[in-house]
Amino acid sequence: MEDNLNSIYRVINFMEKNYDRPVSVKELEDISHYSYRNIQRIFKYSCGETIGAFQQRLKVENAYKRILYTQENLTSIAIEVGFANIASFSKAFKQHFGISPKAARLSKEKLLCEDEITPITSDELLEPEIVYLKSLQVYYQSIKTFYNNEEIEVLWEKFMENKFPDAGTEYFGVIADEPLIKTEISCRYDSCASVQSFNKKLPSKTIFGGKYARFIHTGSYETIDETYTKIYSRWIFNSGLEFSHAPIIEQYKRHADNEDNQENHLTYILLPLK
């Protein structure tokens, strides 16, 4: 556990030293010894923000120190802390502090009050089932979005308009995280059904085919982040397993279309293993 927490501290220390320049996915993988898909989720669920959001915060907080303690003009400060221009700096600064850089310089108000970032681990250790799943052809529609975004819910509403057989159809969400360092986890999300639609010919693809750690999430999908937190801020450190670069797959066993009571909803979270 301690060795794996050290991987997060290595990322934190690296970002603190290099916040003012573009950081590559390879650099983060080399430092953490995890794939970027895993380290970005480990970081988010153990530190409470993504690596991209942490870098953005470091930029504006270091800019604020310069605003307070130097006479540099705002454009120079923006460039020095890693923003492309004064407009993007001003937008990020106002989003973080609630006032513009110009107003911050005039007011001299104390804005820096956050504690240092400290990784935490979940108190609960989940025990997944290790399963071997055969390849499965599915029919799907896709979007590029941020994970846990309302756009995913809208996609499912449109997807279910296609009409599938009531009996025997299984539904999946395929989550392929984009290798981008952003303030939110960016992904391609596929809504999938195991059977072709009655009223529209959907494109097909193959999923599964290999070894997975299968976790169970019960209850409303709105709380699924709580299960991911237990996975990525505890279980992943204890597993001793090697993870594949394949997408995460969610399997919706009991959901709104076949179970009215949200407390009885059942979702499998499948993490691909080597």
Domain 2-107 of CATH type 3.40.50.300: no
Provide the 10 A C-beta neighbour count for residue 4: 19
DSSP state of 243: B
The residues facing 137 across adjacent strands are: 206
What pLDDT was estimated at residue 224? 94
The two domains 2-107 and 129-273 share their CATH topology (first three levels equal): no
**Is residue 183 within 8 Å of residue 50, measured between CB atoms?**
yes
Domain segments of the chain: what residues?
2-107, 129-273
Q: How far apart are CA 11 and CA 56, in angstroms?
A: 15
Give SS3 for 171: strand
Tens digit of pLDDT for each residue in 216-230? 999 988 899 999 999
Q: Which of 141, 135, 136, 139 is nearest to 204 (CA)?
A: 139
Tens digit of pLDDT for each residue in 19-76? 999 999 999 999 999 999 899 999 999 999 999 999 999 999 999 999 988 999 999 9
Provide the 10 A C-beta neighbour count for residue 91: 12
Residue range 132-142: mean pLDDT, rounded: 98
Q: Which of 239, 226, 209, 206 is nearest to 267 (CA)?
A: 226
DSSP string, 31-71: HHSS-HHHHHHHHHHHHSS-HHHHHHHHHHHHHHHHHHH--
Q: Which of 189, 95, 103 is nearest to 148 (CA)?
A: 189
Own/partner long-range contacts of 238-243 (Cβ < 8 Å, ≥24 apart): 238/1, 238/125, 239/213, 241/213, 241/273, 241/274, 242/273, 242/274, 243/34, 243/35, 243/37, 243/38, 243/271, 243/272, 243/273, 243/274
What pLDDT was estimated at residue 2? 60
In this predicted structure, the answer to whether residue 17 has a pLDDT above a threshold of 70 is: yes
Write the CB contacts of 102 (distance below 8 Å, at least 6 apart in sequence): 74
The residues facing 132 across adjacent strands are: 211
In this predicted structure, the answer to whether residue 171 has a pLDDT above a threshold of 70 is: yes
**Is residue 238 within 8 Å of residue 178, measured between CB atoms?**
no
In this predicted structure, the answer to whether residue 114 has a pLDDT above a threshold of 70 is: no
Provide the 10 A C-beta neighbour count for residue 252: 20
**pTM summary value:** 0.88
Q: How far apart are CA 42 and CA 149, in angstroms?
A: 19
Structure tokens at 203: 């494109």
Domain topology for 129-273? Multidrug-efflux Transporter 1 Regulator Bmrr; Chain A (3.20.80)
Pairing between strand 129-133 and 186-193?
A: unpaired
